[in-house]
Amino acid sequence: MHPQIRKKCRDFCEHMEAVTGVRCATVDIAEETVLYGTDNKPRFCTKCQNKDCQEISVHLYGLNEACRWQGRYIYHCPIGIIFSCAAILDWDKKLSGGFVIGPILMGDLQDMLFDFPYSSMEEDLSKLPRYSSSAIQHMTEAFSMFASAYSQADHTGDLLFNQHNYLNTLYQVKDLYKSETVPEFPKEIEDQLVEHIRKGRKAESQELLNELLGHIYFASDFKLNEVKSKMLDLIAVLSRAAIASGADVGEIFRFSTQSILDIEHLNGIDDVGLWCSGILHRYITSAFDQPQIKHSDMVFKVTDYIKNHYREKLTLDEIARYVNLSSSYLSSIFKKETGENLTSYINRVKIENCKRLLRETNHSLSYIAHECCFDDQSYFSKVFKKYAGESPKNYRLNTRRR
């Protein structure tokens, strides 16, 4: 991201923080940095007890999703706190940076505390700014409008820098092809590139990719169709590397399919080099630790949906449609991430709300059963006893004696 644009983005963040009370940051993709409008990382995030959470990876996930969803996206961090973001794209519609807004609380604090894993953070959690879903949407739209003003406008400096390194490498490779004996295609460079992608080493991967592109160009005698053919092989290699490192298989297949379609529209050798640099960043991002973040985000979207719709007859298919996943995949990921199957979690949310009604109201058991969408009072009593350890009637009596 160009320094002048980065400064304007940070200034905008500072003004928006003053207006909304929500922390705002600019993310620079090339530098892999998160720059806040004022001070440093939000106080809440500095106290986060999740040691596996990496701030830049969380927000790179959000921004990459924003690229898929009209430039903005609302997501959860690994402990379930809301963030939203707006993407800034370069001249080739590749992600160059963006805005991150948050942390924010959405909805009722007690719902958040229901399964919040870190009791030592509850006081800080209660101090976070709280907005409705609609207000967060409006805030995200405002940032998206500002981001779009700088999209396709900040590529010049980065492009010249990348081309300089790219051309230097090209000249070095050219010397190898001056001899009468044509060198074999360097499989070892391809293997090293795969290893760097698996470990998320962006700079080293870019350097090796430049070298590999040089070999592809000269081995193909700069014939565009032959270069494109070899690029298809390279996409397959990059895809396998990303999947081997834990990237989401479906996401990689979709991305590789789109990449194959994109190749058809490349009209020159220079286009190939610039395009390839862009997809490399996408593969490295996918190969890093974003699959775990994506799964966490999906799980929190599901739990939020259940908390807001527990009064309705929830089905696995309905929830799966809400998060755009198959029912079987949702069940598998939810169980893996939470250690609890989806039906059990739904019942637990219902029973916690039944407990609240038993403590705080004089409603009949049949009314409470109906309110929390249990088919009949007998089934309600059976499920309640399983999760609470006693019947609804005894629970009400015992809590009122305390």
- Please name each of the domains of the chain with its CATH number: 3-150 (3.30.450), 156-288 (no CATH), 292-401 (1.10.10.60)
Q: What is the reported pTM?
A: 0.55
* Residue with tokens 């070095």, as numbered in its chain: 172
Q: State the average pLDDT over residues 205-220.
A: 78
pLDDT for residue 6: 82
- By CB atoms closer than 10 A (0-12, 13-18, 19+), residue 188 is exposed
pLDDT for residue 122: 86
Whether pLDDT at 140 is above 50: yes
Cα–Cα distance between 286 and 99 in angstroms, integer? Answer: 20
Higher pLDDT, 159 or 61: 61
Cα–Cα distance between 73 and 144 in angstroms, integer? Answer: 10
What is the CA 210 to chain-centroid distance, rounded?
A: 28
Q: What is the CA radius of gyration of the chain?
A: 26
Exposure pattern of 284-312 as b/e (b: 16+ CB <10 Å)? Answer: bbbbbbbbbbbbbbbbbbbbbebbebbee
pLDDT, tens only, 81-106: 889 999 988 766 678 889 999 899 88
What percent of the chain stands above pLDDT 70?
A: 81
